[in-house]
Amino acid sequence: MASLGYRLVITDFDGTIKSRFDPVAERDCQALKEMGQAGLVRVVATGRSLVSFQRDWNPKMELDYLIYSSGLGLCRWTPTGPGEHIFGKIFNQEEQKLALAGSLALGWGFIAFKAPPNSHAFYYFDPPRSERTAGFEARLAQFKESSEPWPGHDPGVPLAQFLIMAPALGFAELRDRFQALASGLSVTQSSSPYEDDSQWLEIFPAGVSKGAASQALVELLGFDSSQAVAVGNDYNDEDLLAWAGRSFVVNNAPADLLAKFEPIKGGGSALAEVWRLIG
pLDDT at 29 over 80: yes
pLDDT at 3 over 70: no
Q: What pLDDT, on the 0 to 100 scale, is given for residue 75? A: 98
Residue 216's H or E segment, with its range, is helix 210-221
Give me the half-sphere count of Cα atoms (radius 13 Å) on the Cβ side of residue 63: 28
Portion of the chain with pLDDT greater than 70, in percent: 98
Architecture of domain 8-88+208-278: 3-Layer(aba) Sandwich (3.40)
Dump pLDDT digits (tens) for 75-116: 999 999 999 999 999 999 999 999 999 999 988 889 999 999
For the chain, give every domain's residue range.
8-88+208-278, 93-204
Q: Tell me, what DSSP letter sits at residue 44?
A: E
Find out whether 8 and 41 touch, Cβ atoms under 8 Å: yes
pLDDT at 267 over 80: no
Residue at 4: amino acid letter: L
Find out whether 241 and 257 touch, Cβ atoms under 8 Å: yes
More confident residue, 166 or 213: 213
How many other β-carbons are positioned within 10 Å of the β-carbon of residue 172? 11
Class of domain 93-204: alpha beta
Predicted TM-score (pTM) of this structure: 0.92
Could you give the CA distance from residue 250 to residue 231 in angstroms, rounded to a whole number?
8
Could you give the CA distance from residue 37 to residue 75 in angstroms, rounded to a whole number?
21
Could you give the CA distance from residue 110 to residue 149 in angstroms, rounded to a whole number?
11
- Picking from 72, 249, 241, 254, the residue whose alpha carbon sits closest to that of residue 163 is 72
Q: What pLDDT, on the 0 to 100 scale, is given for residue 108? A: 87
Could you give the CA distance from residue 121 to residue 113 in angstroms, rounded to a whole number?
6
Q: What pLDDT, on the 0 to 100 scale, is given for residue 264? A: 95
Q: What pLDDT, on the 0 to 100 scale, is given for residue 14? A: 93
Compute CA distances 234 → 53, 68, 258, 271, whole Å: 18, 16, 10, 16
Helix (H, G, I), strand (E, B) or coil at 84: strand
Residue 171's H or E segment, with its range, is helix 171-181
Dump pLDDT digits (tens) for 117-148: 999 999 999 876 667 888 888 889 988 999 99
Q: What pLDDT, on the 0 to 100 scale, is given for residue 194? A: 84
Peptide linkage before 117 cis (omega within 30 of 0)? yes
Mean of pLDDT over the chain = 93
Dump pLDDT digits (tens) for 193-235: 887 888 999 999 999 999 999 999 999 999 999 999 999 999 9
